[in-house]
A and B are shown apart, each in its own frame.
Chain A
Amino acid sequence: MKFVLGTEQRDFARVLGRMLGAADTPAAVRAWARGDHGPGLAVWERVARAGVFGLAVPEAFGGAGPLPAEVAVAFTELGRYAVPGPAVETVAVTALLARLAAEGRTVLAQAWLPRVCEGGALVTAALPGAPGGSPYALDADVCDAVFVVPAGTDDLFLAAGHGPVQPSLDPARWLAIPRCGAEPVASGRAVREAARHAADWAAFAAAAQLLGVGSALLERTVAYVRQRRQFGTPVGAFQAVKHRLADTRVGLEFAGPLVHGAAVALSAGAPGAAAEVAAAKAAASDAAYAAARAALQLHGAIGYTAEHDLSLWLGKARALRSAWGSPAGCRARTLDIFRE
């Protein structure tokens, strides 16, 4: 057993983190929220160049995957730096097309995956029939392709357009209901299976992203309460403040192994992978949202302003909690974890 990240994986996280830390992602997030995608796409290009979008893609289609542990590492960093855009949805699309390719349907994979891996095509997905799926596609207005499997069908469509673009509680997320074309690009049981598989990978990537979001919220708040003074002392010296942050740390500490456990399950293609992913998503959602609440409370009114960068992570923690599997939906799938 080696249930710990290897040196290369830790280096990958470090390199990615350093790159994103230097990329002024808060400005990119704010621009993305205004509909100015330029700065965000510049970050996106660097993320693609680091190989992040090829991590769920087999080598035959230009990727390096499937490498779920690396997905966990990368998406934790994307969450830590609040990178905007349909990153989780890209994982969903790549997992979907790779699974179809594994069933012998390679046309879509050949057409799209190499471009997605190198950042040449931006894709998103709506999988309302899959567990945790949503009728909305994230950032459909920015993407080159929107992949849709309508609820109750075995059909995969490339959307011909989309309905009105609507704001999310995360100002950097924009949601739209895709309009399916007349003819599906793939059909049959394999499509439904692939959609389910894609939703698992998306929930997994979202869980990893939530870990990063929660860690960023905790780090920023620790830094803030160390320097913010009231009653002549840093507010971080007060026990009520300390205890809230300690609980936040415990939540994140124990969500991490679940995300890595889900990575191992996905890597092995184990039948129990969906339950492991659901456990990771439930725990990471809770931990990140608790971190968001603690962060807001301990920043006080300044944290409630749109101007303060904390808002970038607060909204994301809330939005990702709902995306790709609600807390209750995830919990319902975890009861079989210890069944022998």
Chain B
Amino acid sequence: MDLDFTPGEEAFRAEARAWLAAHVPRTPLPSLETREGFAGHRAWERTLHAGRWSAVSWPPAYGGRGRSFLEWLVFEEEYWAAGAPARVSQNGIGLLAPTLFEHGTEEQRARILPAMASGETVWAQAWSEPGAGSDLASLRSVAVPAAGGWRLSGQKAWSSRAAFADRAFGLFRSHPPAPGRPHEGLTYAMFGLDAPGVTVRPVARLDGRPAFAEIFLDEVFVPERDVVGAPGDGWRVAMSTAGSERGLALRSPGRYVAAARRLVALWRAAADPGDTALRDRVADAVVRARAYQLYGYGCASAAGGPRGAEPSLTKLFWSELDLALHETALDLLGPYGELAAAADDAPAHGAWAEGWVFALAGPLYAGTNEIQRDIVAERLLGLPRGRRPAAGPPGGADTPPAVRERPA
């Protein structure tokens, strides 16, 4: 067992570090969750893409570098250590792209991925509805067959970044489900947020910024080529997306390693060394970030990211780590800890405050942590199904419960 990088991997790290040092904006961009910040972050995606850093693990044909999972982890470590901007393209690159690699057609990949890599098309996720949150399969928006495609109608909620994004991917009821089998008959479709029949209503999150939106769809036409996977088989496709959202793809270990490192620096600079209670919390963030980093290396050495129900373990871990880490930072800042990110005096240009607001959402999105705990208990530990008598939980396909261990 070792944690050694090859000379090629080290060279890749050095190349990434040098490029980032030369290109990361000196002063942080305005918040991603504002119109101005969104535009700034999109411009940053163009810069990243020009250096071919926006999606290093993709094949070169789509704008990537064909790099390994481990090299992607390395790039992420360097990216966040450099203090580079949040990724406005994350829901495309981190969620839709892996889904297209697994379930899409070659035509879809060739058409969609290059524009995603360059930031030309920014994607939002349109899953939840006012009446369908944790119980996602109870969604009511529909896809009705039309000549050459489908017409989408209904209402989607809590769609992150949809206020300013270009396109969205979502789940729609296309076939009536058999009794007790609500996961069947759903269709995974992509649509333009500026398409005729689409109305986007921005929704302010806790700090007032329009970080998400409601999407109203009124007979929005979607050609057949914009359906991912087979019509009616959307749940399986969506669970592939959810695996990425809960696993390492959306929230890589490097992000938390960088944040933990900054937290230690803050502690050394600002804390009362005698305050061992705070020191323990800082140490906890370090220990957990290291655990996540090593977990990622373990995945890279095995066969890639967590599989099946395992991303639920990851999601519980990173979402709670993120929140604890930022709460500790705000506590360390004493009276400055209450300054909002937009405040002139906000420490670290508001990064801790912004990070805290962002982290608060972690236990909610990508399936609430209560849903994740259900999935871990039922599918990894083999405890009896509870919420739903017949069909599977809204986190996974129906597989017989069995106690499973991660491959060692």
Residue B284 is within 8 A (CB to CB) of chain A in the complex: yes
A237 within 8 A of B: yes
Contact A3 B287 (CB under 8 A): no
Q: How many residues of chain A have a CB within 8 Å of chain B?
A: 53
Chain A residues with CB below 8 A from B280, complex form:
327-328, 331
CB contact between A222 and one of B290, B381, B386, B408 (< 8 Å): that residue: B381
* Nearest CB in chain A to that of B401: its residue: A226
- Min Cβ gap A138→B in Å is 26
B residues less than 8 Å from A13 (CB atoms): 408
Q: Which of B313, B377, B407 contacts A242 (CB 8 A)?
A: B377
How far apart sit A332 and B261, CA to CA, in the bound complex (Å)? 15
Q: Indicate whether A169 reaches chain B with its CB closer than 8 angstroms.
A: no
Bound-complex Cα distance A233 to B298 (A): 38
Q: Which of B2-10, B126-134, B165-173, B225-233 interfaces with chain A?
A: B2-10
What's the least CB distance linking A64 to chain B, in Å?
16
Cα–Cα distance between A238 and B291 once the two chains are bound (Å): 30
Which residues of chain A (12-57) have a CB below 8 Å from chain B? 13
User: Which has the most chain B C-beta neighbours within 10 Å: A5, A69, A255, A334?
Assistant: A334
Report the nearest A residue to B370, measured CB to CB: A243
Q: Which one of B5, B287, B387 has the highest number of Cβ atoms from chain A below 10 Å of its Cβ?
A: B287
Q: Does A282 contact B (CB under 8 A)?
A: yes
- A317 to B288: give the CA distance in the assembly, Å: 20
A6, B289: Cα distance in complex, Å: 25
A335 near B282: Cβ-Cβ < 8 Å: yes
Residues in A with CB closer than 8 Å to B284 are 331
User: B residues 219-258 with Cβ under 8 Å of A?
Assistant: 257
Docked Cα-Cα span, A225 to B386, in Å, equals: 13
| Min CB–CB distance A182 → chain B (angstroms) | 40
* Shortest Cβ distance from B261 into A: residue: A338
Whether A10 contacts B408 by the Cβ 8 Å rule is yes
Q: Mark B362-380, 1 if CB is under 8 A from A, else 0.
A: 0000000010111011101
Task: Please determine whether B384 and A236 come into contact, CB atoms closer than 8 angstroms.
Answer: yes
| A337: interface (CB < 8 Å) | yes
Q: Is A230's beta carbon under 8 Å from chain B?
A: no
Bound-complex Cα distance A276 to B288 (A):
12
Contact of A4 among B276, B381, B403, B408 (CB under 8 A): B408
Name the interface residues of A121-146: CB closer than 8 Å to any CB of B.
none
Whether B279 lies near A225 (C-beta < 8 A) is: no
On whether A249 and B313 interact (CB within 8 A), knowing A222-B381, A225-B383, the answer reads: yes
**A237:B384 contact, CB within 8 angstroms:** yes
A308 close to chain B: CB less than 8 A = no
Those of A210-233 within 8 Å (CB) of chain B: 218-219, 222, 225-226, 233
Contact at A226–B384, with CB atoms within 8 Å? yes
B294 within 8 A of A: yes
How many angstroms between the C-alpha atoms of A268 and B5 in the bound complex?
14
A-side interface mostly: helix
A242-B383, A254-B288, A264-B2 in contact; A5/B408 too (CB < 8 A)?
yes
User: Assuming A69-B1, A243-B373, is B295 touching A254 (CB within 8 A)?
Assistant: yes
Residue in B9, B316, B383 whose CB lies within 8 Å of A245? B383
Quick one: which of B276, B300, B408 has the most chain A CB within 10 A? B408
B357 within 8 A of A: no
Contact pattern, A 311-339, Cβ under 8 Å of B = 1, otherwise 0: 00000000000000001100110110111
> Roughly how many angstroms separate A253 CA and B374 CA in the complex, as a whole number?
16
Q: Which residues of chain A have C-beta atoms less than 8 A from B290's C-beta?
A: 258, 261, 276, 279, 334, 337-338
How distant is the Cα of A246 from the Cα of B29 in the complex, in angstroms? Answer: 39
- Chain B min CB distance to A250 (Å): 5
Residues of A within 8 Å of B288, CB to CB, are 254, 283
1/0 contact trace for A251-284 toward B, CB 8 Å? 0011101101101100110000000100100110
A234-B384 in contact given A257-B294, A264-B2 (Cβ < 8 Å): yes
- Point out the residues of chain B lying under 8 angstroms from A189, CB to CB: none
Complex contact B287–A279 (CB within 8 A)? yes
Interface pair A1/B5, CB less than 8 Å apart = yes
At the interface, yes or no: A59 with Cβ under 8 Å from chain B? no
The distance from the CB of A213 to the nearest CB of chain B, in whole angstroms, is: 16
A253 and B264 within 8 A (CB): no
In the bound complex, CA of A261 to CA of B289 (Å): 13
Question: Which residues of B sit under 8 angstroms from A331, Cβ to Cβ?
Answer: 279-280, 283-284, 287
Contact partner of B3 (CB less than 8 A), chosen from A226, A246, A255, A264, is: A264
The answer to whether B1 touches A260 (Cβ under 8 A) is: yes
Closest chain-B Cβ to A72's Cβ sits at a distance in Å of 9
Q: Does B32 belong to the interface (CB within 8 Å)? A: no
Does B26 sit within 8 A of A, measured CB to CB?
no
Contact present for B298 and A4 (CB under 8 Å): yes
- Asked if A222 meets B383 with Cβ closer than 8 Å, knowing A4-B1, A254-B295, the reply is yes
B317 adjacent to chain A (CB < 8 Å): yes
A239 touches B4 (CB 8 A): no
A148 to B205 alpha-carbon distance, docked (Å): 61
The interface residues of chain B lying within 8 Å CB-to-CB of A261 are 3, 290, 294
Which one of B6, B290, B403 has the greatest number of beta carbons of chain A within 10 Å? Answer: B290
CA–CA, A250 to B246, complex, Å? 14
Q: Closest A-chain residue to B312, C-beta based?
A: A246
Q: Which residue of A lies closest to B5 (CB)?
A: A1
- Residue of A with least CB distance to B3: A264
Contacts A222-B383, A242-B374; is A337 near B286 (CB within 8 Å)?
yes
Q: Would you give the shortest CB distance from B383 to chain A, in whole angstroms?
A: 4
CB distance from B252 to the nearest CB of A (A): 15
Enumerate chain A residues within 8 angstroms of B195, measured Cβ to Cβ: none
Inter-subunit contact B316/A260 (CB<8 Å): no
Instruction: Tell me if B257 and A338 are in contact (CB < 8 A).
Output: yes
- Chain A's closest residue to B277 (CB) is A328
Q: Smallest distance from the beta carbon of A263 to chain B beta carbons, Å?
A: 6
Please, could you name 17 A-B residue pairs with CB atoms under 8 Å apart, sorted by A?
A: A1-B297, A3-B294, A4-B408, A226-B382, A237-B383, A242-B386, A243-B377, A245-B383, A246-B372, A257-B297, A258-B290, A264-B2, A283-B287, A328-B276, A335-B282, A338-B261, A338-B286
Apart from A249-B313, A279-B287, A337-B286, what 16 extra A-B contacts exist at CB < 8 Å? A1-B9, A3-B301, A13-B408, A236-B383, A239-B387, A243-B377, A246-B374, A250-B313, A257-B295, A257-B297, A260-B294, A282-B283, A283-B288, A328-B276, A334-B287, A337-B290
